[in-house]
Structure 1
Amino acid sequence: MDDQNKNLILAVVLSGIVLLGWTIFFPAPETATDPNAPVATVTDGTTPTTAVAPPAATSGSGTATSGLETATQTPDAPRIEIETPRVVGSISLIGGRIDDLALKDYKVEIDGDEIVTLLEPVGSEAPYYATYGWAPGGALTVDDVPGANTLWNVESGETLTPETPVRLSWDNGKGLIFHREISIDAHYLFTVTQSVENTSETTARLFSYGVVARHGTPETSKYFVLHEGLVRLSDKELDEEKYKDIADFDLDPREGGHTSVIPVAENGWTGFTDKYWMTSLVPQPGQSFTSVAKYVESGNIYQVETRMPTVEVAPGSRTETTSYLFAGAKEWETIRQYQDDNGFYRFVDSIDWGWFWYFTKPIFRILHALHGLIGNMGWSIMILTLIIKGVMLPLAYKSYVSMARMKELQPEMEKLKEQAGDDREKLQRGMMELYKTNKVNPASGCLPILLQIPVFFSLYKVIFVTIELRHAPWIGWIRDLSAPDPSSILNLFGLLPYAPPEPGSALAFLSLGILPILLGISMWLQQKLNPAPTDASQAMIMAWMPWVFMFMLGNFASGLVLYWICNNTITFTQQYLIMRSHGHKPDVFGNILRSLRLKKKDA
């Protein structure tokens, strides 16, 4: 490898390190909350639309407090069933918590019957739930408003379905009557309308809120390329924080935990995202609110909150707020529908598109469209590869022509190597003069490779992160394109009566499937068209590279390996034809056979 190539590769690596370091050490600054934000006053029963409330209400004693209760275990609480075409579960009348939800369309294991459970009540192994309520201000106390442990009465609705909403009520006995209506659509969206009517003779000061809480630190995939944790949009700022980063927020004694507070003027949402699932609070589009992310160390609880503006409800008046809860699978089409039809600003950005989102989004949309036409993700990936290679062909053409000319110069390069002996400087000068005389740019072959890097990572994100690839079959033994090839060379691909090693075991690295082996062969064949490095050490490294990659990518998602095999095969075909069109006739298979005969003779 000449100095020009070395410098080019070094520059790419250093640029990546700088980009990564800047993202880690210089995150976007958070906006400070104004503690003197104005309060909206309700005198005519309308909903306020003025400025964001302070992050904490003021109790009757004048001490700042969040006013939000921690949910407690209530095993015998009465419940209302949830039944829709896509979800099943129940709502606890204690707090009106949405704390029991499973997704009918998704199984835990591809061959199993157990469906994915998303939300679980307090007292379960991994409590995860949404709750709503009101926080007190002025002369009110926490006993005067409904919270996470308030027992609600059912006004109407025995089962929550897309056709039948549920209406709850609670009377504090002091002139404030609270109502809550919960409805759900045919997918994953709950609509929660909270109202309070003041029948007392004094003005009530309070604000409504929504909370999503997770007890205990969730188990995550721990992949660097995958975000799991907090995801929220605050006007135009997208914020993603892993659970360990939430626990590192500044400690706020008023809030009772490590807290980050961001005022949102018009549009936003906040929630927790897993690899395939998400639970997010979404206020009405255009509604100002305060976005809160918090870690309560004493209970090991992570939670997000949306706090509506504080209101003063005059005697005889009434106010209400409406917000949404998304709890379900991160299906692009469903989330995009909520963005377009409901006005949830940039809601598709809740999907983890990654650094190269400008490639990832269009690649996914093309793949999604192809799957809609073909009905098979494996064939769709192959056609997508053809499209990508077709787009890059003009750049690849120049690269392949340069490689063909370098291949023709190979005998002269060997002569220069013999003449220079151990004088590397003389060899470099001779090679540069040879390139200049024949008008060959050795660095031109790097450009298509560099362009493929963001495309490769973008497709990797699409296959690894998007739920559309989960449990998606291709052919025969490939029944899940988001999982590694299940076949194994250790049991002769199923011919021997032994199960392959479990993923993550010591032998799993050696347990190559059919697709990884085909990947290694395709890389090896493609390498035979390229000019060999003049340096013996570099030549040996390049010779081993296909087989190293074969093991490295052996446990990658089958869809990604399939893409890489197709990419290598198409690249080989393009390069072979272009080299022939410029007078160079590569005898790849003849060279391979001659090489094998020589090795056999030497043995």
Structure 2
Amino acid sequence: MDDQNKNLLLATVLSGLVLLGWYILVPPPEAPADAALVEGNLLPPVDAPVDATAGAPAATAATNEPISTATESAPDAPRLTIETPRVSGSISLRGGRIDDLALKDYRVTNDAESDIVTLLAPVGQSQAYYALYGWAPGSGLALDDVPGANTLWSAPEGATLSPETPVTLSWDNGKGLTFERELTIDDNYMFSIRQSVTNNGDTTVSLAPYGTLARHGEPQDLKNFFILHEGLIRESDGELAELDYDDMQDFEVNPRDGSNSETISVENAGWIGFTDHYWMTTLVPEQGKAFRAVAKYDPRREIYQSDIVMPTITLATGESSTANSQLFAGAKEWAAIRAYEKTGIEGFLDSIDWGWFAFLTKPIFAVLHWLNLQIGNMGWAIIGLTVLIKILVFPLAYKSYASMAKMKEIQPKMEALKERVGDDRQKMQQEMMALYKKEKVNPAAGCLPILIQIPIFFSLYKVIFVTLELRHAPFFGPFQDLSAPDPTTFMNLFGLLPFEGPEPGSILALVFIGILPLLLGVSMWVQQKLNPAPTDPTQQMIFAWMPWVFMFMLGGFASGLVVYWIANNTITFTQQYLIMRSHGYKPDVFGNIKSSFKKKPKADS
């Protein structure tokens, strides 16, 4: 491809990147938060679906319709303390709800004095968010005969749930059924729930165990970025589904209770829950067994809900049964989630939003994580990753830059050819192809570095924006959060003055950019000077403005991505300069820089 076509391709690609940058920097407006989701002591009902098997013996369960189990606000209900090295909180014995959980290792902001992140909150508080478990009644049982959202459980006095001390809750319905719920928690974020029931009554009964996650309203800190999924996430027999909160509102309406719901039958393995930018709660039934995964939205009360419903069981007198499940409630740490997947939770690592380029983002993050462990600094790990990527693609880059050097060598022959054939385009094309063949030049090879860079850029941007490990990750000096834009600006003398710059995303932040975007613009500009400016005025203007457009456009991106881009430009410049020199073409970098500052002669009037 000739220089004109190559530059046209480059301009098209860069235009696409500019549009991408616009959507990232100016995301769709966030949905307004509902300040009155829960007030006082009035708690909306939480519906628990009943049956996980078609044709269940229970008359109620066989309908596959949900039963309303209204919860009640109970701030004075006894509580069971949760205390581990990484989380703290409590469980309300009213319903046995896991509804109070904070993540000790994470703070709301990068300020060491800010509050730790709260993940779960009880009803009666804004943004109530909790997990509860119970049994849905089938034949021979009424709603009050089984434990639900309002059941007051008993716990050992003074008990605390910790990795070393599991706790067993108990409840007797007074009609021959005794229920127990054994709770354990590991050193990270996984609860294990073992529900058991014993029938000491005189009749055979049927009932179905379930687990529920209820979220009152959308999260207040919802990002609404197209590059990030927030909302319902579900794995069912190897198929991953990501549904936004808006998608849940579009579920088919259930005529019985007016909710919008969707039910998926899972044959072997899966899980369901809600994912935020960095945090997640997920219901994980026993893998290898069938269950139903239910997602619903109650428009009357603004409640989003996900359920797991295990198969209905039938108990004769003297029989017992147990149902095992797990609850993940914590930070989406790659190492922890990967370990859970290795212990049998199928596809659990996909709960991190790897995006379309998962085949790139997963290995890129794995290497970045390893480098960070070795170096101890995420900024230097990003630079190290850049070096490794450049080494990996070096053979292709070598061919590309060698081809570009040969193109420069045959430029005089190209000019002579144009003079000889004149305006005969067909003949010009034929002669050019013959010249390329004779000189063994591939004109398309010069485009390869750009084409390679695009998916790597998108993948790394995804990794830096989505993964928890970049959150609040320091580099050096003023750069203490590589997931945030450069905090330095002319307004605070590039970090020398002790106050913050403009609010990220504001107009001032786009204008008064920091040190890293400036270095990015300069590195792109210097890289351009490996070649003389194009003779075509339009192309010359595009290339002249390109570094500075990118400088302002990427100024609002995560600083970790800008660090990568600067390192990439620096390595690319060095590679291209040395390769082109080794093939006989000597780039006049300083001469090209000088010529860019020369005044153009005025056109004759």
- Superposed counterparts of 1:285-324, under 5 Å: 285-324=287-326
Q: CA-atom RMSD, angstroms?
A: 3.0
Q: How many angstroms does 1:418 deviate by?
A: 8.6
Moved more, 218-227 or 63-72: 63-72
Query: Across the two proteins, how many residue pairs are aligned to each other?
Result: 565
Counterpart position of 1:22? none
Name stretches of at least 5 consecutive residues in structure 1 with no aligned partner: 18-50
Counterpart position of 2:66? 66
Q: Is the 8 A contact 1:57 1:66 kept in 2?
A: no
Residue 337 and residue 499 in structure 1: after superposition, are their counterparts in 2 closer, same or farther (change >3 A)?
closer
Counterpart position of 2:202? 201
Counterpart position of 1:390? 391
2:266 to 260, 264, 276: 264
**CA distance in structure 1 between the partners assigned to 2:510 and 2:298 by the alignment:** 40
**CA distance in structure 1 between the partners assigned to 2:508 and 2:419 by the alignment:** 45
Residue 5 and residue 491 in structure 1: after superposition, are their counterparts in 2 closer, same or farther (change >3 A)?
closer
Secondary structure, counterpart of 1:547 in structure 2? helix
Secondary structure, counterpart of 1:445 in structure 2? helix
Q: How many angstroms does 1:225 deviate by?
A: 1.1
**CA distance in structure 2 between the partners assigned to 1:85 and 1:396 by the alignment:** 48
Matched, 1:284 2:286: yes
Per-residue CA distance 1:101-131 (angstroms, 9 max, x = gap): 0000001111133100000111111011100
Per-residue CA distance 1:125-184 (angstroms, 9 max, x = gap): 101110000111123222211111211122466211111112111122221111111111
Residue 122 and residue 573 in structure 1: after superposition, are their counterparts in 2 closer, same or farther (change >3 A)?
same
Q: Is the 8 A contact 2:55 2:62 kept in 1?
A: no
Counterpart position of 1:242? 244
Secondary structure, counterpart of 2:555 in structure 1? coil
Q: Is the 8 A contact 2:532 2:592 kept in 1?
A: no
Counterpart position of 1:408? 409
Q: Is the 8 A contact 1:235 1:266 kept in 2?
A: yes
**CA distance in structure 2 between the partners assigned to 1:365 and 1:251 by the alignment:** 42
Counterpart position of 2:476? 475
Residue 479 and residue 424 in structure 1: after superposition, are their counterparts in 2 closer, same or farther (change >3 A)?
farther
Counterpart position of 1:379? 380
Counterpart position of 2:229? 227
Matched, 1:442 2:453: no
**CA distance in structure 2 between the partners assigned to 1:148 and 1:581 by the alignment:** 75
Q: Is the 8 A contact 2:531 2:589 kept in 1?
A: no
Moved more, 182-191 or 169-178: 169-178
- Superposed counterparts of 1:167-178, under 5 Å: 167-178=168-179
**CA distance in structure 1 between the partners assigned to 2:55 and 2:508 by the alignment:** 53
Q: Is the 8 A contact 2:61 2:138 kept in 1?
A: no
Residue 532 and residue 424 in structure 1: after superposition, are their counterparts in 2 closer, same or farther (change >3 A)?
farther
Counterpart position of 1:451? 452
Residue 541 and residue 412 in structure 1: after superposition, are their counterparts in 2 closer, same or farther (change >3 A)?
farther
Q: How many angstroms does 1:408 deviate by?
A: 3.4
Residue 407 and residue 3 in structure 1: after superposition, are their counterparts in 2 closer, same or farther (change >3 A)?
closer
Per-residue CA distance 1:174-195 (angstroms, 9 max, x = gap): 2111111111111111111111
Residue 118 and residue 417 in structure 1: after superposition, are their counterparts in 2 closer, same or farther (change >3 A)?
farther
Secondary structure, counterpart of 2:556 in structure 1? coil
Counterpart residue type for residue 563 of structure 2: L
Counterpart position of 1:100? 100
Matched, 1:327 2:329: yes
Residue 490 and residue 440 in structure 1: after superposition, are their counterparts in 2 closer, same or farther (change >3 A)?
farther
Per-residue CA distance 1:449-502 (angstroms, 9 max, x = gap): 212222211111111111111111111111111111100124431456874211
Q: How many angstroms does 1:71 deviate by?
A: 3.2
Counterpart position of 2:525? 524
Residue 370 and residue 68 in structure 1: after superposition, are their counterparts in 2 closer, same or farther (change >3 A)?
farther
Residue 428 and residue 149 in structure 1: after superposition, are their counterparts in 2 closer, same or farther (change >3 A)?
farther
* Alignment TM-score, normalising by the size of structure 2: 0.87
Counterpart residue type for residue 485 of structure 2: P
**CA distance in structure 1 between the partners assigned to 2:84 and 2:455 by the alignment:** 40
Per-residue CA distance 1:541-569 (angstroms, 9 max, x = gap): 12211111111110111111101111111
Counterpart position of 2:31? none
Residue 363 and residue 56 in structure 1: after superposition, are their counterparts in 2 closer, same or farther (change >3 A)?
farther
Counterpart position of 1:24? none
Secondary structure, counterpart of 1:202 in structure 2? coil
Q: How many angstroms does 1:281 deviate by?
A: 0.6
Counterpart residue type for residue 401 of structure 1: A
Q: Is the 8 A contact 1:65 1:255 kept in 2?
A: no
**CA distance in structure 2 between the partners assigned to 1:419 and 1:595 by the alignment:** 31
Q: Is the 8 A contact 2:530 2:592 kept in 1?
A: no
- Superposed counterparts of 1:28-47, under 5 Å: none
Secondary structure, counterpart of 1:80 in structure 2? strand
Moved more, 578-587 or 141-150: 141-150
Residue 80 and residue 559 in structure 1: after superposition, are their counterparts in 2 closer, same or farther (change >3 A)?
same
Counterpart residue type for residue 96 of structure 2: G
Secondary structure, counterpart of 2:552 in structure 1? helix
**CA distance in structure 2 between the partners assigned to 1:9 and 1:490 by the alignment:** 33
Secondary structure, counterpart of 1:312 in structure 2? strand
Counterpart position of 1:581? 582
Residue 10 and residue 518 in structure 1: after superposition, are their counterparts in 2 closer, same or farther (change >3 A)?
closer
Secondary structure, counterpart of 1:338 in structure 2? helix
Counterpart position of 1:29? none
Moved more, 147-156 or 353-362: 147-156
- Superposed counterparts of 1:557-596, under 5 Å: 557-596=558-597
Matched, 1:85 2:85: yes
Per-residue CA distance 1:565-599 (angstroms, 9 max, x = gap): 11111010000000000111111023213433x23
Moved more, 113-122 or 520-529: 520-529
Counterpart residue type for residue 561 of structure 1: V
Q: Is the 8 A contact 1:178 1:194 kept in 2?
A: yes
Residue 56 and residue 77 in structure 1: after superposition, are their counterparts in 2 closer, same or farther (change >3 A)?
farther
Q: How many angstroms does 1:538 deviate by?
A: 2.4
Per-residue CA distance 1:507-540 (angstroms, 9 max, x = gap): 1111211111111111111122246545321231
Q: Is the 8 A contact 1:264 1:291 kept in 2?
A: yes
Q: Is the 8 A contact 1:101 1:118 kept in 2?
A: yes
Q: Is the 8 A contact 2:57 2:206 kept in 1?
A: no
Residue 467 and residue 6 in structure 1: after superposition, are their counterparts in 2 closer, same or farther (change >3 A)?
same
Secondary structure, counterpart of 1:154 in structure 2? coil
Secondary structure, counterpart of 1:98 in structure 2? strand
Secondary structure, counterpart of 1:554 in structure 2? helix
Moved more, 261-270 or 387-396: 261-270
Moved more, 269-278 or 445-454: 445-454
Per-residue CA distance 1:223-282 (angstroms, 9 max, x = gap): 111111111110111111111111111112246421111111111111111111010011
Moved more, 278-287 or 490-499: 490-499
Counterpart position of 2:33? none
Counterpart residue type for residue 475 of structure 1: F
**CA distance in structure 1 between the partners assigned to 2:496 and 2:419 by the alignment:** 51
Percent identity (aligned): 61
Per-residue CA distance 1:296-330 (angstroms, 9 max, x = gap): 11111111111000011111111111110000001
Counterpart position of 2:26? none
Residue 376 and residue 325 in structure 1: after superposition, are their counterparts in 2 closer, same or farther (change >3 A)?
same
Counterpart residue type for residue 463 of structure 1: I
* Alignment TM-score, normalising by the size of structure 1: 0.87
Counterpart residue type for residue 389 of structure 2: I
Residue 574 and residue 156 in structure 1: after superposition, are their counterparts in 2 closer, same or farther (change >3 A)?
same
Counterpart position of 1:21? none
Residue 217 and residue 182 in structure 1: after superposition, are their counterparts in 2 closer, same or farther (change >3 A)?
same
Counterpart position of 2:186? 185
Per-residue CA distance 1:29-76 (angstroms, 9 max, x = gap): xxxxxxxxxxxxxxxxxxxxxx95249996569865312524332222
**CA distance in structure 2 between the partners assigned to 1:240 and 1:61 by the alignment:** 28
